Amino acid sequence: MLKADYHKNASKSSYPRNFFTEIFCWKEVEVSREISEAFQSQRPNSHAPLLSLAHGDAELFNSTIDLVAVTIGLRYQWQFVMKMINENFIVIRDDNNFVYDMASQAMKVLEDVSLNAKGRSVLSDELKALDKLSDEARQSAANTLRWLMRAWVEDDMTAKFVNLFIPLEMVLAGHPGTKDSHLFHQAELIRKIIHDHGGEQKEALIDCLNHFVEQQRPSLVSRFEEMAGKTKMLGWQKDVLAFKKFNSMRNALLHRGHNKITTRITLSEGEVRDLEDLVERYVSFMLFGDGRVYPSRFRPMPTEDSA
């Protein structure tokens, strides 16, 4: 499938480039005498416990390297760090002797695809149907699908996860949803407090409160639940629960920069695929009237008991 080269001196690599930027993050650790002697004598698999320790500190290493890399890109030139070539966990015996756990760039596993005569006929009909759309509807559909295309070709899982929300939010714009009833209950309690203790300013304060309450928009979760309920697609109730989780994860990612919010997100490739499946099915339903999308071995198929 591929050819892998490893060089202690990166400048000898055949990878096409003018230069490499190498960043090392290291940590000294203490281990038992037994592990140390086995490693120093180069016994088979003696490096495994030490590489395991390195992987245990992966989050610390990655955050430190990101800090250095982005500082270089921000303060000097982003082209120095524009593309990650590979990353390796290394355990050092001495200056010229070490073991490594090599990881290259991720590879995307593609599926064998073909288009038979029936498929060509159906595709032709669907493309003709697009031609019947009004100019406004065609432009709206194009804008939505353009963002879906951008999410498809994104290799970074975190960026892909965030980008997938854009076409779905564009579809949800047509669903008003319902405002949070808890918000109205709280507003009523505040009105009572203002009425009892607002003094001469109570009318102005109540008007101000009413303005803020009216400005509150229904949440994305509320609008998605409304849309999913109308489609009645197989497994729509589970889709609502899944979207609540994905929306919470997305909000945590977007607000991570706030110094008073602390959160930890573990985003797996499987979760990104689940979100991708959900977005594709509902975008398809809103644009074409059904949730029929391309078949894939990566697609989680809903079951009857989830309907």
Each residue of 183-212: pLDDT tens digit? Answer: 666 777 777 787 777 787 878 877 777 767
**In the prediction, which pLDDT does 298 show?**
73
Evaluate whether 175 touches 226 at the Cβ level (below 8 Å).
yes
Q: What is d(CA 147, CA 164) in angstroms, rounded to the nearest whole number?
A: 8
Identity of the residue numbered 29: V
**In the prediction, which pLDDT does 167 show?**
92
Q: Which two tokens stand for residue 242?
A: 């899944």
**In the prediction, which pLDDT does 2 show?**
65
Q: What is d(CA 69, CA 17) in angstroms, rounded to the nearest whole number?
A: 18
pTM: 0.65
Comparing CA positions, the residue from 138, 302, 149 lying closest to residue 231 is 302
* Distance linking the first and last C-alpha atoms of the chain: 41
**In the prediction, which pLDDT does 242 show?**
92
**In the prediction, which pLDDT does 58 show?**
85
**181-189: long-range contacts (C-beta < 8 A, 24 or more apart)?**
183/213, 183/216, 184/213, 187/213
**Unique residue bearing structure tokens 């990353």:** 87
Per-residue confidence in pLDDT tens, the chain, 307 aa: 567 777 778 888 888 888 889 898 888 888 898 988 888 888 888 888 888 888 888 888 888 998 999 999 999 999 999 888 888 888 888 666 788 876 666 667 778 888 889 988 988 888 888 888 888 888 888 889 999 999 998 888 888 888 999 999 888 887 876 666 666 667 777 777 877 777 878 788 777 777 676 666 678 888 898 899 889 888 899 999 999 999 888 887 776 554 444 445 567 778 888 899 999 999 988 888 888 888 787 776 554 444 3
From residue 76, alpha-carbon distances to 24, 64, 68, 139, 271 in Å are 19, 18, 12, 41, 36
What's the residue count for the chain? 307
Q: Which residues contact 280 (CB under 8 A, 6 or more apart)?
A: 148, 293, 294
**In the prediction, which pLDDT does 234 show?**
87
Q: What is d(CA 140, CA 171) in angstroms, rounded to the nearest whole number?
A: 9
Q: Which residues contact 236 (CB under 8 A, 6 or more apart)?
A: 228, 229, 307
SS (H, E, C) 196-251: HHCHHHHHHHHHHHHHHHHHCCCCHHHHHHHHHHHHCCCCHHHHHHHHHHHHHHHH
Q: Would you put residue 109 in left (φ > 0), alpha (ψ -120 to 50) or beta?
A: beta
**88 DSSP 8-state letter:** E
**In the prediction, which pLDDT does 17 show?**
85
**In the prediction, which pLDDT does 68 show?**
92
**In the prediction, which pLDDT does 262 show?**
46
Dihedrals phi, psi of 266, to nearest 5 degrees: -110, 105
Domain boundary assignment for the chain: 10-103, 130-177+218-306, 181-215
Q: What is d(CA 163, CA 148) in angstroms, rounded to the nearest whole number?
A: 8
